[in-house]
């Protein structure tokens, strides 16, 4: 911040240029990375090519280095943080973790002016180790906490600038070891930051899952409740994910680490144990669904209190409708969907019968052809959620024939939509 006429003004963030040079002409070879107006330089070198680096004499100078590989026991990416006065020589020697792990790639950072002496690289080693541990993204293979050098504050400030630039450049070299997991900032999670999303249920007991959208995908955060039961119709890939991450779910059905998925619907289905529409399930702290937040003009309107009232009134029935997933099950097809006051949504992963009957209405044929041409329907499956004006329109699209959606779509207890309506009317009639 700067002062101007007694008022604080924010200094704009300036753009920076990272230049990547593929020294061997291929992405599998050695990389060199530089940042505009900085004397630091980074190298990414595959382990198999370390012996071919006689043409890089600068590697025989002081620097900090990171070794990367995959841990066999956990399947996680690992990092080892080290320092050396002669980096290349040190990389050719053994490390304590070599007996049970194998690093495949080294990333090295040096100073082009040779200003990184022993005390400074020791300081950097300690700081990068601490940052990697706090980020919790990679498994850190260091056996002990590196010693932090005692340096003058002016030198420490200079090295902190070096650290900022390395954190900026490392993702460009293929690693996000220093980027914190979404849940690592506990204060944001506790205070309900605007970019956090929530999925809530009241049955069988009140529970909640927390999510966040990033460039990597949709994250379900540590501390989220994961419903222990899986519906029989849940997609096979979700069932496989439940098996894969079983060790990340505690005995109390609470997630022990952040998990990243490809879509909001996959994430919400993983959480709920049954097919769900993620864009409608995940909502911000004000109760606005992700589907609305994705619309450019909605967030501004959402902040106005006058427009928040109708959403508060309609939220309970919408949540009740979303809580029950209807399904069509037969010999040829399995599909799931949700119903609300605006129509019926067929959920991603649902199946449809590609062949249409002779008596299939023309409008159904046209609708199906449009969805196929758009890439929404392919190889007998819905590749995304699709909203229809009625349960019958959804059923016709799935079955490729005329269909009464109120009879075809069934609730988890086996009752049809029509049956549920008749039961409610009967109960009201009995009370009268």
pLDDT, tens only, 3-60: 344 444 545 667 889 999 999 999 999 999 999 989 999 999 999 999 999 999 999 9
pLDDT, tens digit, 9 for 90 and up, residues 393-402: 999 999 999 9
3-state secondary structure of 332: coil
Query: For residue 282, what pLDDT band results from cuts at 50, 70 and 90?
Result: very high
d(CA 85, CA 110): 10
Backbone angles phi, psi at 133, to 5 degrees: -65, -45
Query: For residue 307, what pLDDT band results from cuts at 50, 70 and 90?
Result: very low
Residue 298 has pLDDT above 90, yes or no: no
pLDDT, tens digit, 9 for 90 and up, residues 330-365: 767 889 999 988 889 999 888 999 888 888 888 898
Best-predicted range by mean pLDDT among 129-133, 245-249, 291-295? Answer: 129-133
pLDDT, tens digit, 9 for 90 and up, residues 177-236: 999 888 876 555 555 555 899 999 987 789 999 999 988 889 999 999 999 999 988 888
Residue 428 has a pLDDT of: 65
Taking residues 113-118, what's their average pLDDT? 91
Residue 171 has a pLDDT of: 94
pLDDT, tens digit, 9 for 90 and up, residues 381-393: 888 899 998 999 9
Output DSSP code: residue 289.
Answer: B
Are the C-beta atoms of 189 and 195 separated by less than 8 Å? no
Residue 127 has pLDDT above 70, yes or no: yes
Output DSSP code: residue 51.
Answer: G
Taking residues 245-264, what's their average pLDDT? 92
d(CA 83, CA 65): 6
Nearest one of 344, 195, 346, 354 to 282, comparing CA atoms:
195
Instruction: Decide the pairing of beta strands 207-214 and 139-140.
Output: unpaired
Note if the pTM is more than 0.75: no
H/E run at residue 109:
strand 105-111
Query: For residue 303, what pLDDT band results from cuts at 50, 70 and 90?
Result: very low
* Cα separation values, 386 from 146, 181, 296, 371, Å: 54, 32, 21, 9
Residue 310 has a pLDDT of: 38
User: Which is more confidently placed, 37 or 127?
Assistant: 127
Residue 295 has a pLDDT of: 56
Q: 41 forms bridges with which residues in the sheet? A: 34, 110
Q: Name the token pair of 256.
A: 């022990």
Query: For residue 299, what pLDDT band results from cuts at 50, 70 and 90?
Result: very low
Average pLDDT in the chain: 85
Residue 6 has a pLDDT of: 45
Least confident of 37-51, 251-265, 307-321, 372-386: 307-321
Residue 305 has a pLDDT of: 40
d(CA 59, CA 56): 6
Residue 285 has a pLDDT of: 85
Best-predicted range by mean pLDDT among 63-67, 241-245, 399-403? Answer: 63-67
Query: Tokens 């020791």, residue?
Result: 122
d(CA 304, CA 248): 39
Nearest one of 154, 132, 157 to 80, comparing CA atoms:
132
Residue 297 has pLDDT above 50, yes or no: no
Residue 317 has a pLDDT of: 34
Query: Tokens 């890089």, residue?
Result: 56
d(CA 33, CA 112): 12
């Amino acid at each position: 911040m700067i002062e101007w006429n007694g008022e604080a003004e924010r200094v704009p963030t300036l753009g920076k240029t990272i230049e990547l040079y593929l020294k061997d002409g291929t992405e599998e070879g050695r990389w060199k990375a530089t940042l505009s107006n900085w004397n630091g330089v980074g190298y990414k070198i595959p382990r198999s090519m370390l012996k071919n680096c006689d043409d890089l004499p600068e590697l025989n100078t002081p620097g900090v280095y990171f070794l990367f590989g995959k841990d066999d026991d956990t399947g996680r990416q690992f990092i080892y943080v080290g320092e050396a006065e002669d980096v290349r020589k040190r990389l050719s020697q053994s490390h304590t973790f070599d007996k049970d792990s194998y690093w495949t790639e080294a990333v090295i950072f040096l100073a082009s002016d040779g200003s990184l002496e022993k005390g400074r690289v020791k300081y950097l080693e300690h700081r990068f180790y601490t940052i990697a541990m706090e980020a919790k993204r990679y498994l850190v293979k260091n056996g002990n906490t590196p010693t932090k050098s005692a340096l003058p504050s002016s030198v420490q400030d200079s090295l902190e600038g070096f650290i900022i630039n390395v954190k900026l450049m490392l993702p460009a070299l293929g690693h996000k070891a220093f980027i914190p997991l979404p849940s690592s900032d506990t204060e944001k999670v506790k205070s309900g930051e605007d970019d956090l999303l929530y999925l809530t249920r009241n049955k069988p007991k009140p529970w909640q899952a927390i999510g966040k959208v990033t460039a990597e995908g949709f994250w379900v955060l540590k501390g989220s409740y994961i419903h222990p039961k899986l519906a029989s119709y849940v997609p096979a890939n979700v069932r496989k994910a439940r098996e894969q991450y079983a060790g990340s779910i505690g005995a109390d059905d609470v997630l022990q680490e952040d998990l990243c998925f490809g879509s909001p619907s996959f994430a919400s289905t993983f959480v709920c144990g049954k097919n769900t529409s993620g864009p409608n399930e995940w909502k911000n702290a004000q109760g606005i669904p992700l589907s609305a937040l994705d619309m450019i003009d909605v967030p501004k309107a959402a902040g106005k209190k006058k427009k928040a009232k109708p959403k508060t009134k309609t939220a309970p029935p919408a949540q009740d409708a979303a809580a029950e997933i209807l399904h069509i099950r037969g010999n040829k097809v399995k599909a799931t969907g949700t119903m609300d006051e605006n129509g019926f949504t067929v959920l991603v992963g649902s199946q449809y019968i590609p062949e249409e009957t002779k008596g299939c209405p023309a409008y159904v044929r046209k609708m199906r052809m449009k969805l196929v041409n758009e890439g929404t329907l392919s190889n007998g499956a819905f590749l995304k959620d699709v909203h229809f004006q009625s349960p019958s329109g959804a059923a016709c699209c799935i079955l490729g024939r005329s269909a009464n959606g109120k009879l075809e779509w069934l609730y988890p207890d086996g009752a049809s939509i029509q049956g549920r309506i008749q039961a409610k009317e009967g109960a009201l009639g009995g009370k009268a």
